[in-house]
Structure 1
Amino acid sequence: MRFLVVFVSLITVATALNCYICNSLNQPDCTTNFQQFNRVCPVKSFSGLKAVKPVGCRVTRQYVNEETSIVRECAYTGENVEKKSNKGSLGVSRVYSQCSEPVCNSTNSSFHFFTAAVLVALYKLFS
């Protein structure tokens, strides 16, 4: 019986999804030193659903007027996307990416962040 409990525990740990989980507004290291925020994604309950497992990791760059923030989190819905943008209320826009591999919500280079920021700035300028 102990063997079964240990075996099931090992399988659960092996199949757990890790993502970087942080918000640069209250954790400034989330922007560049995010490796310290590597966490196991919890199973959550929301919108009347119970025990929803994470499907991936997400990183969102949010631009509110002149302020930029980065949110790294576990994703519970959606699919893999790269630099998808959406516009919120006046002065708010977001660029996000979602992936299904463990700890894949990093910024692989500052070039990607810079490119996204330039694209959003150009969009705001010409919209």
Structure 2
Amino acid sequence: MSSEEQQVVTEEAPRAEKRSHKEIDENDEVVAAKTKKIEKDDKAENEVEEEEEDGEEEETGDNDESNTVIMTRVLIALLAIVALVSAQATTKPAAAAAPKPAAAAPKPAAAAPKPAAVAAGGVKCVQCASTKKGEENCFDSGDHLSKYTKPCNPLKEGAYKGKSAIGCRKIHQNIGDEKAIVRECAYSGENQDGQRKTGNSGIILFYYQCNETGAEPCNSVSSVSIVGSLLISFIARFLA
């Protein structure tokens, strides 16, 4: 090898070595940069994973809290139902045990009016019938009825045989267009003031019964009573 070539080799050696070192440094920098990037990527990925884990933990915590609230409400509702059922079970027996109010005692029927005491000497009544010949004026009231006033003797036959009279009776008879009045003694029944009875063949009767309390028989009818009786008879015929 010539000296020139040796000189060139000698000069080139440091340069090659320098280039070699430079390439190594560049490679190291590239490797370091890649390593740094990888570390950065790993860090970012770890942060994302941590955030996801935190989110999952928060979501789990929210779910747990929500479940706790629901369970609490369900428990409160169950307790309220149990309390209500217990209250009803306690109230029903008490209501059943309460005694029913006793039925009101039936009111006693009004006692029938007792006949007034018969005057001394027995009952006297007007005894006539306007349908009988010679007694036509029995229909009207007035002093002429005194001639028909007689004591009421005990009955001699029938279901009330031997019974004394308890009062006087007056009967208004409506037979078609004909009207009549019968005055007689009463041996049974109660006081009446125009009790209406209907018979066969369109016969309508109105009963007036009274007790003798004075000297004049109570079946002697005043003119007002006669007018009232006739009015009742007219209404009865109109409605029949």
Query: TM-score when scaled to structure 2?
Result: 0.44
Relative to total residues, which structure has the larger helix share, 1 or 2?
Answer: 2
- The answer for the alignment partner of 1:117 in structure 2 is 230
Q: Which amino acid aligns with 1:93?
A: I
- The answer for the alignment partner of 2:129 in structure 1 is 23
Q: Within 1, Cα distance between the matches of 2:137 and 2:232?
A: 24
Listed one character per residue, the Cα deviations across residues 29-50 of structure 1 (whole Å, up to 9, x for unaligned) are 2122322101000101333443
Q: What is the deviation of 1:100? A: 1.1
Q: Within 1, Cα distance between the matches of 2:169 and 2:160?
A: 20
Call closer, same or farther: CA 1:113–1:52 in 2, change over 3 Å.
Answer: same
Q: Which amino acid aligns with 2:239?
A: F
Call closer, same or farther: CA 1:49–1:84 in 2, change over 3 Å.
Answer: closer
Q: Which amino acid aligns with 1:116?
A: S
For the pair 1:54 / 2:165, whether they are aligned, the reply is yes
TM superposition outliers: structure 1 runs of 4+ over 4 Å? none
- The answer for the alignment partner of 1:66 in structure 2 is 177
Of structures 1 and 2, the one with the larger relative CO (CA 8 A, separation 6+) is: 1
Question: Gaps spanning 5+ residues in structure 1: where?
Answer: 1-12
Percent identity for Structure 1 against Structure 2: 28
The structure with the larger Rg is 2
Paired residues in the alignment total 114
CA contact (8 A) 2:160 2:187 kept: no
Q: What is the deviation of 1:65? A: 0.5
For the pair 1:44 / 2:155, whether they are aligned, the reply is yes
Q: Is the partner of 1:46 in helix, strand or coil?
A: coil
Q: Within 1, Cα distance between the matches of 2:160 and 2:237?
A: 37
Relative to total residues, which structure has the larger strand share, 1 or 2?
Answer: 1
Q: Is the partner of 2:162 in helix, strand or coil?
A: strand
